[in-house]
């Protein structure tokens, strides 16, 4: 059985001499052409053909063939012609000119001529060379030692400060919030109202979620022109001054995903590798630094993301670049996104357009759905434009208790989405109480002595009451106390007797 390592080593000098193939011109290529040169001559030119020709020329010169023999051998290996139909050996001559100065011994191989540039395969014992080749191959195949992943004991308290809430129950510092909405339902009104209230430092988003602290906001417009945005800001602020902490840009910066292909050739083989890379418009990062931006609102994602919309790998790279900005500058990001073509789905986020990784990365997922179906709107006498003013808000929080879904109505006078209770029997959702509603009904200063008492007052089940009370506590609206009989009671925060 042939040792596979033999294929990696040329034969020893003087071994394997055979009769030349019939197509070699007599008088130019010696009849005692060694087997390793004959094997090279017979191999099919593929892959990096120039590298094959160069290797053949070098091996022939090291064996001691003269220039005419070397060129004839190269032309037999890779027949080429010039524009006049003559055999062209320019490439072989170029290699020969580089190799010949180191090998002036014509008629004898390097090792017999005492050539100072004798190749390694002509020296030493063959068994020793075989062992060295095997060792080199094992070394090449051995994986490089990689660095260890950073680890820590589970449950260790983080060293940094705990993120503070920006909007109770909805958004904390450094988080990513994504809103998915049907086309034309008013997602930009929602996003601009969010940015306005954050920059102002107070208010209630959708009439429900309290803004706890102000932030410096950059709103990136991808669909509205400057005059349309101006008119909307005027409606949102009413007779109030625009907050100085609210900035906007209409510049179409991009976060772009590019594909890079690298081809490696050699030893007759050609392999290609394709890598993905992400390029962020450098102006965005410099603006975040110079303007001290704390909240970035992207409206919409499809305008500023330049990549394959349905590729999770490309979306992952773009989101990772945004995450880098968040970790580096303590940035909070809000993304507004369109629905796709589907009109039904198991989960609300499945209606979102494109790759699912956008929803997976979000700390808070908000989905704005039409409250009325077209059939319901027609039945109660609403036009299409009127029906669009009513929506269901589906919420999902990763880092805290998820708020209950609510119903909202767009106010044409203020431009804001406000909390709305649907008439009984209308729509697909009968909106229940929110944590703010629960806190408003809690007696002051006595509170409720137990969850059972709170459930009776709210006229809802104990499980739902317990969840609402806990959400109100997390939002800083209520605080837990010990009741008269040792049960957990509740009261409005800061109203202790």
Q: Can you say how many angstroms the Cα of residue 183 is from the centroid of all Cα atoms in its chain?
A: 25
Whether pTM exceeds 0.85: no
pLDDT at residue 269, as a whole number? 62
pLDDT at residue 481, as a whole number? 86
What is the CB-side half-sphere exposure of residue 307 using CA atoms within 13 A?
A: 26
- From residue 419, alpha-carbon distances to 207, 433, 434 in Å are 5, 10, 10
pLDDT at residue 70, as a whole number? 79
Domain chopping of the chain, boundaries: 4-126, 165-431, 433-497
Query: Can you tell me the distance from the alpha carbon of 168 to that of 127, in angstroms, rounded to the nearest whole number?
Result: 76
Q: Are 322 and 178 in contact (CB under 8 A)?
A: no
pLDDT at residue 31, as a whole number? 60
Q: Are 440 and 423 in contact (CB under 8 A)?
A: no
> Mean pLDDT in runs of 10 for the chain (497 residues)?
44 42 45 63 58 76 81 71 56 80 80 77 55 56 76 89 89 94 91 97 92 95 96 94 96 92 66 84 95 95 93 93 94 94 78 90 93 86 89 86 84 93 57 76 87 86 82 81 80 78
pLDDT at residue 28, as a whole number? 56
pLDDT at residue 266, as a whole number? 58
433-497: CATH number? 1.10.10.10
Fold (topology level) of 165-431: Rossmann fold (3.40.50)
Q: Are 218 and 248 in contact (CB under 8 A)?
A: yes
Pairing of strands 209-210, 165-167: unpaired
**Which position has the token pair 């055979």?**
18
Query: Can you tell me the distance from the alpha carbon of 405 to that of 398, in angstroms, rounded to the nearest whole number?
Result: 15
Same fold, 165-431 and 433-497: no
Residues 236-250 as b/e (b if ≥16 CB within 10 A, e otherwise) read: bbeeeeebebbbbee
């Amino acid at each position: 059985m042939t040792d596979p390592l033999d294929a990696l080593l040329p034969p020893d000098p003087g071994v394997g001499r055979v009769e030349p193939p019939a197509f070699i011109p007599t008088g130019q290529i010696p009849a005692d052409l060694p087997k390793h040169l004959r094997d090279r001559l017979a191999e099919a030119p593929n892959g990096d053909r120039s590298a094959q020709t160069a290797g053949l020329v070098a091996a022939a010169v090291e064996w001691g063939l003269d220039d005419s023999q070397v060129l004839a051998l190269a032309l037999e290996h890779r027949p080429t012609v010039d524009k006049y139909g003559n055999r062209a050996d320019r490439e072989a001559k170029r290699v020969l000119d580089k190799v010949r100065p180191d090998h002036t011994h014509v008629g004898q191989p390097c090792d017999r001529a005492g050539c100072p540039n004798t190749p390694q395969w002509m020296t030493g014992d063959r068994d020793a060379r075989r062992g060295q080749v095997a060792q080199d191959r094992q070394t090449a195949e051995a994986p490089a030692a990689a660095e260890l992943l950073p680890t820590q004991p589970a449950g260790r308290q983080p060293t940094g400060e705990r993120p503070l809430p920006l909007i109770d129950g909805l958004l904390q510092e450094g988080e990513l919030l994504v809103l998915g909405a049907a086309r034309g339902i008013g997602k930009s009104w929602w996003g601009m109202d969010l940015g306005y209230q954050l920059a102002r430092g107070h208010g209630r988003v959708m009439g429900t979620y309290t803004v706890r602290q102000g932030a410096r906001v950059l709103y990136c417009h991808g669909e509205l022109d400057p005059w349309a945005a101006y008119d909307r800001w005027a409606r949102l602020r009413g007779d109030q001054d625009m907050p100085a902490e609210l900035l906007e840009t209409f510049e179409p910066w991009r976060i772009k995903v590019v594909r890079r292909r690298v081809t490696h050739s050699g030893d007759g083989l050609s392999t290609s590798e394709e890598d993905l890379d992400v390029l962020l418009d450098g102006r965005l990062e410099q603006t975040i630094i110079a303007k001290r931006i704390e909240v970035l609102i992207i409206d919409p994602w499809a305008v500023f993301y330049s990549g394959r919309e349905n590729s999770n790998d490309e979306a992952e790279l773009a989101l990772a670049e945004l995450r880098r900005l968040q970790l580096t500058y303590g940035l909070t990001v809000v993304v507004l996104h369109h629905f796709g073509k589907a009109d039904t789905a198991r989960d609300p986020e499945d209606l979102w357009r494109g790759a699912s990784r956008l929803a997976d990365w979000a700390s808070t997922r908000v989905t704005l759905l039409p409250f009325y179906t077209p059939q319901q709107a027609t039945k109660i006498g609403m036009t299409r434009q009127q029906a669009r003013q009513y929506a269901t808000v589906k919420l999902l929080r990763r880092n805290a208790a998820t708020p209950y879904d609510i119903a909202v109505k767009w106010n044409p006078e203020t431009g804001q989405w406000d909390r709305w209770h649907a008439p009984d029997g209308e729509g697909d959702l009968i909106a229940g109480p929110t944590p703010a509603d629960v806190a408003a009904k809690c007696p002051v200063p006595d509170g409720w002595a137990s969850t059972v008492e709170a459930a009776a007052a709210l006229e809802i089940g104990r499980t739902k009451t317990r969840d609402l009370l806990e959400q109100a506590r997390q939002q800083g609206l209520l605080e837990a106390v010990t009741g008269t009989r040792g049960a957990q009671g509740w009261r409005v925060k800061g109203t202790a007797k």
